[in-house]
Amino acid sequence: MKEKRIEIDKAEPLLLFGFNDIYLKRIERAFPQALITARGNQVILQGSDIDLSSISRILEEMTVLLNRNGNLTENDVDTVLTLFASGDGASMSLSGPGSHHTVLFTPSGGTVKAKTPNQIVLVETARKNDIVFAIGPAGTGKTYTAVALAVAALKSKQVKRIVLCRPAVEAGERLGFLPGDLKEKVDPYLRPLYDALEDMVPKEKLKSFMETNIIEIVPLAYMRGRTLNAAFVILDEAQNATALQMKMFLTRIGANSRAIITGDLTQIDLPYRDVSGLAQAREILAGIEGIEFVYFNDTDVLRHRLVKEIINAYSHYYEEEKAPKAARQG
C-alpha cells in the first residue's frame, strides 16, 4: 500500500471531515482497500495509486462544495461519491485525458456524461465559476449538458430551484399569427428544455417540481423585475437575446445562484438592426473574475455525421462572403 498526505488549507477541516470524521468514513466505505486518517489539518491516505488519486479528487470536489455553500451535508458527500462511480462500479476521474465526465444519473438507470473535450471543459468550468457562457454550433450538447448540471445541482441541494428560459424569437414566423393563448404560442420555443428535463427527472417528480416552481421554464421576457436567489439559471439560444435583454437577464442573478448562457452566434434570428446580447456580452464581460467563456466547435457535434459537414460548409461559405466585404471596406 502506498501513502499520501494531503494538507487541507482551502477549507475548515472540521467541516470538511464531518462530525467525528463521518464524511471521511463514508469515503472509506466506498474504497474498502484504502485507509483514511485525519490528523489536524492533514489527511493521510493509504491504498493503491488509483484509490489515492480518486480519494484526492473527491476531497477536492468536497472542498469546492463546502466553499460554495458554506456547509457540507451527507447528501453532498454521497453525490460526489456517486459521480466518481461509473456504471460498473469502477473508480473514475472526473477530468483528464480520455475521461468521460459523469454529470448525472437518469431515472432509467443511464448516465449523462460529458463526452467531448469541450463538454468536459464546460462541466469543469461551471463547477468553478458562477456565470459561464457556452458558445458554439448546433448539436454540440451545450443545452443538454447545462440542464444536466442544473438538475445535478438541485439534487445535491446546491441550489433550491432551476429556472430555464429562452428568447421567444422565431426564424421566419411571428408569435401573433400562431394559434392559441400565450403559453401555447411560446411552448414550442421552450420544447428543447422540456425534452432535456424529461430525460433527467422522473415524470411525476418533474410534474410536481413544475407545479411548485422548483423548476420553471419561461420566456426570457418573464425574467424582468425578478431576483433569483439560490437558483441555477439557464438562458438558452442567447444569440437571440437583445443587448438590453442580456443585461436584464444577468442582473437577475441573486445570492448563491449560478448561471449558464448558451448560444450559437451563427444562428442569430434578431431583426437586422438589433445587436445580439450574446455577441456584445462576449466583448464586455471578458476578463471578469467568476465569468468564463467556453467555446464549442464541429469536433463536439454529436448529431448525425452530416451535421458536422453542414456546419463546416456554412462556415466556409460565410468566411468567403466576409473576405470581399472586408477588402472593400479596407
Q: How many helices (H) and strands (E) does the chain have?
A: 11, 11
Distance CA 93, CA 89 (A): 13
Residue closest to 261 by CA, chosen among 230, 240, 287: 240
Q: Under CATH, what is the fold of the domain 2-83?
A: Ribosomal Protein S8; Chain: A, domain 1 (3.30.1370)
Cβ-contact 85, 92 below 8 angstroms: yes
In this structure, of 62-76, 142-156, 172-186, the range with the lowest mean pLDDT score is 172-186
Q: Under CATH, what is the fold of the domain 101-301?
A: Rossmann fold (3.40.50)
- Provide CATH 3.30.1370.10 ranges for the chain: 2-83
**Percent of the chain clearing pLDDT 90 (strictly above):** 41
pLDDT of 159 higher than 90: yes
Per-residue confidence (pLDDT) for residue 182, from 0 to 100? 53
Span 193-251, pLDDT tens digits: 888 899 899 889 999 999 999 999 888 888 888 999 999 999 999 999 999 999 999 99
Tell how far CA 155 is from the center of its chain: 14
Higher pLDDT, 327 or 281: 281
Per-residue confidence (pLDDT) for residue 303, from 0 to 100? 59
Q: Which three cell numbers stand for residue 282?
A: 462576449
Per-residue confidence (pLDDT) for residue 111, from 0 to 100? 77
CA distances in angstroms from 45 to 4, 95, 228, 241, listed in the order given: 5, 21, 41, 50
Distance CA 23, CA 62 (A): 10
Higher pLDDT, 250 or 190: 250
* pLDDT (average), residues 307-330: 65
Distance CA 258, CA 153 (A): 10
Per-residue confidence (pLDDT) for residue 174, from 0 to 100? 45
Per-residue confidence (pLDDT) for residue 258, from 0 to 100? 95
Span 86-103, pLDDT tens digits: 332 333 333 333 334 678
- Provide CATH 3.40.50.300 ranges for the chain: 101-301
